[in-house]
Amino acid sequence: MKAVIQRVSQGRVTVDESIVAEIGLGLMILLGVAPEDTLATVSQTVEKIAHLRIFEDEENKMNRSVLDARGGAIVVSQFTLYADSSRGRRPSFIGAAKPDIAEPLVAAFAEQLSALGVPTQTGVFGAHMQVALVNDGPVTIVLEY
């Protein structure tokens, strides 16, 4: 599982000119699923992200989690995180899980993050989405499990 986590002051996902997810302060999480990922991988990744101390405290130090900051999250499935461009000019995506594996794991990820207390929204799996955000900091973290 790969995740690109961006601390945002606002974020939005649009599909066919309709807003499907929108937050203020929080995290935009681009999530890639590998064929070998399981619910255990999901739980480990969710736990890490929910408690990452990447929000500033009163002393302007990154010392607070999204839970501490009372922020929200948008989870966007993104198989392109598994792009392999080592050969040629057209990336290969064979390292990404097929939709029948990835979709339930992305849904489980969002459900588990929400269950931990982070208000969580999602993009639309498999849809062409427009993702807009204001990266706060900028803070961008890449995780891989």
Question: Pick the catalytic residue: 80, 93, 130, 140?
Answer: 80
pLDDT at 89: 94
Does the annotation count 80 as an active-site position?
yes
User: In the annotation, is 79 catalytic?
Assistant: yes
Q: Which of 79, 109, 120, 121 is catalytic?
A: 79
Question: Would residue 78 show up in a list of annotated catalytic residues for this protein?
Answer: yes
* Tokens standing for residue 52: 């990452």
Q: In 36-62, which positions are buried (b, 16+ CB within 10 angstroms) versus exposed (e)?
A: ebeeebbeebbeebbebebbbeeeeee
Q: What pLDDT is recorded for position 78?
A: 97
Measured distance CA(142)–CA(145) in Å, rounded: 10
* CATH class of the domain whose range is 2-131: alpha beta
- Look at residue 61 in the predicted model and tell me its pLDDT: 97
pTM of the model: 0.97
The single residue of 6, 14, 45, 78 carrying the catalytic annotation is: 78
Per-residue pLDDT of the chain (145 residues; tens, 9 = 90+): 999 999 999 999 999 999 999 999 999 999 999 999 999 999 999 999 999 999 999 999 999 999 999 999 999 999 999 999 999 999 999 999 999 999 999 999 999 999 999 999 999 999 999 999 999 999 999 999 8
The domain spans of the chain are 2-131
